[in-house]
Chain A
Amino acid sequence: MGWLNVYAAVYSPEDHTNLFDMTTNAGKQMMWIGTTVLLIICILVINHKFFDSFAYVFYAFMILMLLLVLVAGSNINGSRSWFKFGAFQIQPAEFAKVATALALAKYLDVPGMNLGRTKELLRIGGIIVLPCILILASNETGSTLVFASFVIMLYREGLPGWIPALGISVAALFVLALVFPKLYIFAGIIVLYGIIVLLMPRYNRTTRNLLSMAMIGAAMMALVTGVDFFVNNVLQKHQRNRIKVLVDPTIDPLGVGWNVTQAKIAIGSGRLQGKGFLEGTQTKFDFVPEQSTDFIFCTIGEEHGFIGSTIVIALFIGLLSRIVILAEKQRSKFARVYGYCVAGIIFFHVMVNIGMTIGLMPVIGIPLPFFSYGGSSLWSFSILLFIFLRLDSRRTALMRR
């Protein structure tokens, strides 16, 4: 049953290597793929109990590595997050995701776990936040944000709906506060409040309910004002610009805006059918910065056009849905939780990465799974995915029996 996943996983790297026949990165990436295959074989032969039993050990090891990298890592582009082994570099942050996913799965595997309890929630939060802080300390904001994707898993496992709702609304308000003048937002909140009150059943319109809703509205306004004040008055000009650029890249056309504009030009120039394999002028001539890593999707968009990008997105959605469905079928809670973690992490990467190349998401430097150049990310995604497949194969083996 795992054939679709395997196909997706195998298809994508192949596509990807072809793209890189032109560049010097191609050879290295071939090597990474070779080692990845070795890793996959290792994972597939190891007993499934291994992951279960050693989940905390992995986690502890990764935390150690993250600590170590802060001290011993080499400095690349101002972030101290890489281990250098000769010509090759490894980014522990990528593997921290895997370890955290395993640790979470292990923790939630305990029977009688109830996410409604604040104490449990705090502990889980601790498991997630600890690597976050360490990664943030090594100046890799993008990788830190990935840990937000565990919310998807937690939601499935019974996290109260209001927590993600709160997170999403705070994020939305933050963005809105940057984009629109705050008076508009205030007016919007008040209008929304009025609509909700009008739609409320009459018997529900108690003073207490109305008051609490007004409190929420006021809190939203306060948040907007706070963001506005913080951005415009507290931050230095260049920091302010950096935040504003996240929302509106066009204000800095030669800096961050340059990346986004060039990415959009590259993708837009692909038209319906694309320029043809290896025919892309934009990506091949380095107009799009970091096109072999974070902006890899531009190459697909330019060379394979709308059809190609549609296929890629469809493949990702298919893969994600497949993982979710498989996760649901798992016998053990450990495997299910882990499966959701995998889906969440991949989803977050895909959403942010493709979103930023087409100008829907702020520019956050995280790779596109299975496509982007880079050994660490290829390894970590392969490990992530194939541990799940190993767990899944355990299930099918049981069924056959």
Chain B
Amino acid sequence: MLENRKWVIIGVFCLVGLTYLARLFYLQVLDDTYSLGASKNSIKRVVEIPYRGQIYDRNNQLIVYNTPVYDLYVTPKQVRIPDTVAFCRMMNITTSEFDSIMGLAKNYSPVKPSLFMRQLSKEDFARIQDALVDYRGFEPVISSMRTYPAHTMANALGYVSEISKKQLEEQDILYYRQGDYVGHNGLEEQYEEQLRGKRGVKFMMQNVRGVNKGSWKNGAYDTLAVAGQNLITGIDVEVQKYADSLMQNKVGAVLAVEPATGEILVSVSAPTYDPNMLSSRYFSKNYRALIKNPYKPLINRPVMASYRPGSTFKLIQALIAQQQGSLFPNTMYGHSGSPMRCHCRGGNNLRGAVQNSCNPYFYHVFRKFLYFNGEHNTFKASAIGLKEWHSMAEKFGIGARLGIDLPSELKGNLPTPEYYDKAYRGALRWKFSNVYSLSIGEGELLISPLKLVNLAATIANRGWYITPHYIKGFNKPGVGVPAEYFERHETGIDYKHFLPVIDGMRAAVSHGTVTPLANIEGIDLCGKTGTSQNNKYGHKFDHSIFIGFAPMNNPKIAVAVFVENAGWGGKAAASVAALVAERYLKRKTEAKKLDEQVKAANYLPPVSRVPAPKKPAAPKKDTVRKTPEAKPLMTATSPKPVAVAAASGH
């Protein structure tokens, strides 16, 4: 009886064994969730960050490259520091900073390395390298830092810094991780994808504490990092630097493009800053200082500032009125019947009106334009005329984004009939007499320097433009340029209508509104001055504007200059434009006297009169703003139903 119990016992043994085998079969053969868990567990992806692409100018000069720097990592558990005070003195940090960094590192992991100090320069590193041997637990890791040998064009280039939390969360494709560097603003942001290259991935085996145990399967699944592409820009660094020097102590912008290609040659935003400031490890300190600067050096004025175009807009008025058929080159208007004042003697034809920037002339031109339709009711006629005016002016790229390869372009404003309907609370409640200030580029017009240089290029090309752009190619000129930067945009203005306007522009420089010194011999500059009203401090502080191109035939450079608070457009802006054009065309500056004069001029408004950085107001719908206080010094964005009557044009 009892002997038979052995079978019960053996049966129990076998039962348990079979149960376990079934379970093992399920775990090991049927269910693969656990095997996936294993690879997640012990195999770690180590990401290799490739070198970011460098940036060149059109003559193959380096604008941006990468310098090797050293990030110092600390592994808290291995740290042995005999004398913390001496160590801190060597590292140039305070003991409390040291404590907080170490605390963070310990919190992260006592056995994994975490960042102790980033971007030590080669010099700094050489200084501490020997001493570092005595301090265990610190490990330098080579990394790279953006360096700007030309010290220029900070605003257009943007900067490279750690990815923000918001950006991390808003990625479409999960590419970036915390702590990654990413281009911010400017070209660095625009061409981020090409510049950053492709990250490589190495699969490393590690144990539970994250300590590396060699590569997995001898690197069979590793991918190599692909270095970023080098961006070749159309910038001419030499001229750019020269333009920088001209814009010292001034607020404003200089933009120059090659009319035939739309390539931007010069892009100055003044005041600016040294781009190296934002690439070092003092980024946050420097950034804060720049944000607080009352002259707002972080704004990229060529695309982000909005001005009223002033008299420069008369060029568009002249062109579209001719195209409409309401203006002929020999049409003459006097000063009578116009509420505007003028400096010239009056009685000009179109050439003379452009040369002398005659306000009443263009008052009449615009009046004729708006009423140049069958409608007798002036309210209705104004609405129809303004609509036509809008559609023709629009073709010059006014009132919309041009599509430059920068992320922060502003739209500006080109008023439509609906705009005034809204401003006057109903249709047909306004007419020419309410909007006539548009005729001389005042009123509700808003325009960026970029659009004006595009206008200059359009006139230089006699009727078409290619969207201004920085890119000339990736690695080689012409490679990888978006197709839109080869596309010709027609303005719909006949060739012949440009001739009297260009004649007038040439005359404006040679013996018109432009200061005689700026008529530099041998460059054959054609241009138009503008003085954008700035009533804030009185007319003395109007913005000085000049657009032009050179030489007159087969133009090589179109240029637009804004100098804020510099008054009369014929002097400050025109001088800068002439010097920039001369330097570009002749590769040297012969107009020494003008050069000295411009460099000596200081048009910075006194800090006390600069409006304190305002809290960012609710941004307008049609504006794209990256920096919170992106308002330029002088920006009139609120519609004024009745334009200021007094306007000047030289």
**Nearest-CB distance from A365 to chain B (Å)?**
19
Pick from B59-67, B186-194, B200-208, B532-540 the stretch touching chain A.
B200-208
Residues on B with beta carbons closer than 8 Å to the beta carbon of A271: 28-29, 35
Residues on B with beta carbons closer than 8 Å to the beta carbon of A321: 10, 13-14
A360 at the interface (CB under 8 A from B): yes
Bound Cα distance A364, B205 (Å) = 30
Chain A, range 220-255, C-beta contacts under 8 Å to B: none
- Whether A267 contacts B17 by the Cβ 8 Å rule is no
B213 at the interface (CB under 8 A from A): yes
Bound Cα distance A328, B7 (Å) = 11
- Whether A269 contacts B35 by the Cβ 8 Å rule is yes
Bound Cα distance A271, B21 (Å) = 13
Chain A, range 253-292, C-beta contacts under 8 Å to B: 261-262, 264-272, 281-282, 284-287
Q: For A115, give the chain B residue with the smallest CB separation.
A: B2
Contact with A along B9-45 (1 / 0, CB 8 A): 1101110110111011101110111110111011100
A155 at the interface (CB under 8 A from B): yes
A217 at the interface (CB under 8 A from B): no
**Nearest-CB distance from A57 to chain B (Å)?**
29
**Given contacts A271-B28, A306-B25, A358-B24, A156 and B5 within 8 Å (CB-CB):** yes
A128 at the interface (CB under 8 A from B): no
Residues on B with beta carbons closer than 8 Å to the beta carbon of A261: 37
Pick from A71-79, A86-94, A186-194, A311-319 the stretch touching chain B.
A311-319
**Nearest-CB distance from B12 to chain A (Å)?**
8
Residues on A with beta carbons closer than 8 Å to the beta carbon of B207: 284-287
Bound Cα distance A157, B8 (Å) = 13
- Whether B28 contacts A272 by the Cβ 8 Å rule is yes
- Whether B38 contacts A360 by the Cβ 8 Å rule is no
Residues on B with beta carbons closer than 8 Å to the beta carbon of A306: 24-25, 28-29
- Whether A313 contacts B17 by the Cβ 8 Å rule is yes
- Whether B20 contacts A286 by the Cβ 8 Å rule is no
Chain A, range 323-338, C-beta contacts under 8 Å to B: 324-325, 327-328
- Whether A268 contacts B27 by the Cβ 8 Å rule is yes
Bound Cα distance A107, B34 (Å) = 49
**Nearest-CB distance from B518 to chain A (Å)?**
75
Bound Cα distance A310, B5 (Å) = 26
B609 at the interface (CB under 8 A from A): no
**Given contacts A155-B9, A285-B42, A287-B41, A267 and B20 within 8 Å (CB-CB):** no
- Whether A267 contacts B34 by the Cβ 8 Å rule is yes
Residues on A with beta carbons closer than 8 Å to the beta carbon of B43: 281
Residues on A with beta carbons closer than 8 Å to the beta carbon of B37: 261, 265, 268-269
Residues on B with beta carbons closer than 8 Å to the beta carbon of A305: 28
Contact with A along B255-269 (1 / 0, CB 8 A): 000000000000000
Contact with B along A177-218 (1 / 0, CB 8 A): 000000000000000000000000000000000000000000
Bound Cα distance A42, B13 (Å) = 31
Bound Cα distance A268, B32 (Å) = 7
Q: For B37, give the chain A residue with the smallest CB separation.
A: A265
Residues on B with beta carbons closer than 8 Å to the beta carbon of A152: 9, 12
Give the most central of A158, A265, A268, A355: most B CB within 10 Å. A268
- Whether A285 contacts B208 by the Cβ 8 Å rule is yes
A343 at the interface (CB under 8 A from B): yes
Q: For B205, give the chain A residue with the smallest CB separation.
A: A281
- Whether A155 contacts B5 by the Cβ 8 Å rule is yes
B3 at the interface (CB under 8 A from A): yes
A354 at the interface (CB under 8 A from B): yes
Chain A, range 146-175, C-beta contacts under 8 Å to B: 152, 155-158
Bound Cα distance A131, B10 (Å) = 27
- Whether A156 contacts B2 by the Cβ 8 Å rule is yes
Contact with B along A343-359 (1 / 0, CB 8 A): 10001000100110011
B89 at the interface (CB under 8 A from A): no
**Nearest-CB distance from B430 to chain A (Å)?**
71
**Nearest-CB distance from A266 to chain B (Å)?**
7
Bound Cα distance A347, B14 (Å) = 11
Residues on A with beta carbons closer than 8 Å to the beta carbon of B31: 268
Residues on B with beta carbons closer than 8 Å to the beta carbon of A355: 20
Residues on A with beta carbons closer than 8 Å to the beta carbon of B10: 320-321, 324-325
Residues on A with beta carbons closer than 8 Å to the beta carbon of B14: 317, 321
- Whether A264 contacts B2 by the Cβ 8 Å rule is no
Bound Cα distance A269, B33 (Å) = 9
Bound Cα distance A316, B21 (Å) = 12
Total number of B residues with any Cβ neighbor in A under 8 Å: 38
Residues on B with beta carbons closer than 8 Å to the beta carbon of A155: 5, 8-9
- Whether A269 contacts B20 by the Cβ 8 Å rule is no
A369 at the interface (CB under 8 A from B): no
**Given contacts A286-B207, A305-B28, A313 and B21 within 8 Å (CB-CB):** yes
Bound Cα distance A314, B41 (Å) = 30
B209 at the interface (CB under 8 A from A): yes
**Given contacts A269-B34, A286-B209, A305-B28, A354 and B6 within 8 Å (CB-CB):** no
- Whether B20 contacts A360 by the Cβ 8 Å rule is yes
- With beta carbons under 8 angstroms apart, the residue of B6, B17, B38 that contacts A316 is B17
- Whether A287 contacts B24 by the Cβ 8 Å rule is no
Bound Cα distance A281, B17 (Å) = 27
Residues on A with beta carbons closer than 8 Å to the beta carbon of B16: 347, 351
**Nearest-CB distance from B42 to chain A (Å)?**
4
Bound Cα distance A269, B37 (Å) = 8
- With beta carbons under 8 angstroms apart, the residue of A270, A328, A358 that contacts B3 is A328
**Nearest-CB distance from A261 to chain B (Å)?**
8
- Whether B34 contacts A264 by the Cβ 8 Å rule is yes
Bound Cα distance A347, B209 (Å) = 35
Residues on B with beta carbons closer than 8 Å to the beta carbon of A360: 19-20, 23
Q: For B2, give the chain A residue with the smallest CB separation.
A: A158
Give the most central of B39, B41, B207, B213: most A CB within 10 Å. B41
A309 at the interface (CB under 8 A from B): yes
A301 at the interface (CB under 8 A from B): yes
Bound Cα distance A152, B42 (Å) = 42
**Nearest-CB distance from A16 to chain B (Å)?**
19
- Whether B13 contacts A269 by the Cβ 8 Å rule is no
**Nearest-CB distance from A38 to chain B (Å)?**
31
**Nearest-CB distance from B109 to chain A (Å)?**
15
Bound Cα distance A12, B363 (Å) = 106
**Nearest-CB distance from B493 to chain A (Å)?**
72
Bound Cα distance A179, B476 (Å) = 70
Q: For B13, give the chain A residue with the smallest CB separation.
A: A320
- Whether A358 contacts B41 by the Cβ 8 Å rule is no
**Given contacts A286-B207, A286-B209, A316-B17, A281 and B5 within 8 Å (CB-CB):** no
Bound Cα distance A302, B2 (Å) = 42
**Nearest-CB distance from B353 to chain A (Å)?**
82
**Nearest-CB distance from A272 to chain B (Å)?**
5
**Nearest-CB distance from A352 to chain B (Å)?**
10
**Nearest-CB distance from A333 to chain B (Å)?**
11
Bound Cα distance A261, B34 (Å) = 9
**Nearest-CB distance from A288 to chain B (Å)?**
9
**Nearest-CB distance from B65 to chain A (Å)?**
41
**Nearest-CB distance from A364 to chain B (Å)?**
15
**Given contacts A157-B2, A313-B20, A316-B17, A282 and B38 within 8 Å (CB-CB):** yes
- With beta carbons under 8 angstroms apart, the residue of A156, A264, A282, A317 that contacts B42 is A282
- Whether A287 contacts B42 by the Cβ 8 Å rule is yes
Bound Cα distance A347, B8 (Å) = 14
Bound Cα distance A269, B32 (Å) = 8
**Given contacts A152-B9, A285-B42, A317-B14, A267 and B28 within 8 Å (CB-CB):** yes
- Whether B42 contacts A268 by the Cβ 8 Å rule is no
Besides the known contacts A268-B35, A270-B35, 13 further A-B residue pairs in the complex with CB atoms under 8 A apart: A156-B6, A157-B2, A265-B34, A265-B35, A268-B33, A282-B38, A287-B208, A306-B24, A313-B21, A321-B14, A347-B13, A347-B16, A355-B20
- Can you give 7 contacting A-B residue pairs, CB < 8 Å? A271-B28, A284-B213, A285-B208, A309-B24, A310-B21, A347-B13, A347-B16
A binding-site residues for B, Cβ under 8 Å: 152, 155-158, 261-262, 264-272, 281-282, 284-287, 301-302, 305-306, 309-310, 313-314, 316-317, 320-321, 324-325, 327-328, 340, 343, 347, 351, 354-355, 358-360
